[in-house]
Amino acid sequence: MLSHDAAEPAGQTHSDPNADGLAGVLAAHDTVRIVAARTTHLVATASQLHDCSPTVAAAFGRLLTGAALMGASLRGPERVTLQISCDGPVRGLVADAAAGGAIRGYPLAPRAERPLTTCGKFDVGGIVGRGFLHVTRTFAIGLPYTSATPLVSGEIGEDLAYFCAQSDQIPSVVAVGVLANPSGILAAGGFIAQLLPGAREEDMHVLERTVRHMPHPSSLIRQGLRPEQIALAVGAGLAPRITHRAHLRFACTCSRDRVTRMLIGLGHDDLRELGERSQPTEVVCNVCRRRYTFTPAEIRALHVAADSADGTRDTLTSG
Ligand SMILES: [Zn+2]
């Protein structure tokens, strides 16, 4: 259960042409499942959108990477949402993965900060503190299902591994990390390795030994390794084979249409008040910080629409 980040001295920049993505691997006669991800660009995008402090960017980047890893096999309308509720300065973090590699999320207190640890690392455990990790899975049919485990250390990787072992009953190793300097995110990524039913004890020992001696994934990504190379390296000695590859990107599901429906759902009194103002109404998405502006005339038109949609307001706002 590795989980570390490092702060690099200023002035060192590194551009990498590779896009974000993930690779899935099965090993040890399909009894070990490994997913590795490179999330550098999406973590950088998310951190910039939310104007995160360096330590929040590290914590948020780890959780976004965790969502990408846990959402690797999603299909159709399925989603997995990781939510940390905590008593540390960041107060809470949300990261969500949808099929097709769309990752999004937000921190509750993006500007919270903690000094670097004595070894020069981001104090992710300190900025998160104590609390719970909630994992919500949304399926193609039926209601979403949420389960939660207490945070082990607030370092995210350990907390995700603990959740998988306790709640999903799947022994797992999770390593997630963000490498950054004062000018921004240099590399981000991670891997998850899980023992499936029928896994042999000797294979587990091989995996443990490999992981213990591996450099941290954010360092490997900084060196230019691709997700499939990292996943194969984790499964070394266990006859690993690549099962899938996918792109990853930061993507929000908000739209002007959704915001319009939300405004209609406010009801008569609020819409009348907004329509009577001389200033436009601005709605900011809390996930991607995109701004949607509505003129007073547009708001008044929505007010008329709200009148005719009166009986169906609950339906309109539930999406
Ligand atoms: Zn959005």
pLDDT at 3 over 90: no
Separation of 291 CA from ligand 1 center, angstroms? 9
Q: Superfamily for 2-250? A: Hsp33 domain (3.55.30.10)
**Distance in angstroms between the alpha carbons of the first and the last residue of the chain:** 38
Q: Are 223 and 38 in contact (CB under 8 A)?
A: no
Separation of 99 CA from ligand 1 center, angstroms? 17
pLDDT at 6 over 60: no
pLDDT of residue 5: 57
pLDDT of residue 267: 84
pLDDT of residue 314: 43
Separation of 251 CA from ligand 1 center, angstroms? 8
Domain boundaries, the chain: 2-250, 256-318
Separation of 82 CA from ligand 1 center, angstroms? 17
Indicate the pairing of strand 172-181 with strand 6-7. Answer: parallel
Rounded (10°) angle between helices 54-70 and 40-49: 130
Low-confidence winner among 53-57, 253-257, 266-270 (lowest mean pLDDT): 266-270
* 256-318 fold: CBS domain Like (3.90.1280)
Amino acid at 188: A
pLDDT at 68 over 50: yes
Q: Are 176 and 156 in contact (CB under 8 A)?
A: yes
Q: pTM for the whole thing? A: 0.88
Work out the angle at residue 244's Cα, subtended by the Cα atoms of residues 60 and 36, and round it to the nearest 5 degrees: 35
Separation of 256 CA from ligand 1 center, angstroms? 10
pLDDT of residue 317: 37
Give mean pLDDT, residues 284-311.
86
- At residue 319 the predicted structure's pLDDT band, cuts being 50, 70 and 90, is very low
Separation of 311 CA from ligand 1 center, angstroms? 28
Separation of 316 CA from ligand 1 center, angstroms? 18
Report d(CA 289, CA 285) in Å as an integer. 5
pLDDT at 2 over 70: no
Separation of 290 CA from ligand 1 center, angstroms? 6
Separation of 35 CA from ligand 1 center, angstroms? 27
98: phi then psi, degrees, rounded to nearest 5: -120, 165
Q: Are 80 and 136 in contact (CB under 8 A)?
A: yes
Instruction: Establish whether domains 2-250 and 256-318 are of one fold.
Output: no
Identify the H or E element spanning 195: strand 184-195
- The torsion defined by the Cα of 245, 2, 39 and 49, in degrees rounded to 10, comes to 150
pLDDT at 137 over 60: yes
pLDDT of residue 310: 58
Separation of 228 CA from ligand 1 center, angstroms? 30
Distances from the Cα of 236 to the Cα of 13, 119, 269, 291, angstroms: 31, 30, 64, 47
DSSP letters for 80-146: EEEEEEESSTT-EEEEEEETTTEEEEEESSTT---PPPTTS---HHHHH-SEEEEEEEE-SSS--EE
pLDDT of residue 17: 52
Separation of 197 CA from ligand 1 center, angstroms? 39
Query: pLDDT (tens digit, 9 = 90+) per residue, 166-200?
Result: 999 999 999 999 999 878 999 999 999 999 999 99
pLDDT at 254 over 50: yes
Six-digit token string for 90: 């960041």
Separation of 255 CA from ligand 1 center, angstroms? 7
- At residue 292 the predicted structure's pLDDT band, cuts being 50, 70 and 90, is very high
pLDDT at 74 over 50: yes
Separation of 252 CA from ligand 1 center, angstroms? 5
pLDDT of residue 7: 52
Q: What is the mean pLDDT of the chain?
A: 91
Separation of 28 CA from ligand 1 center, angstroms? 41
Separation of 61 CA from ligand 1 center, angstroms? 18
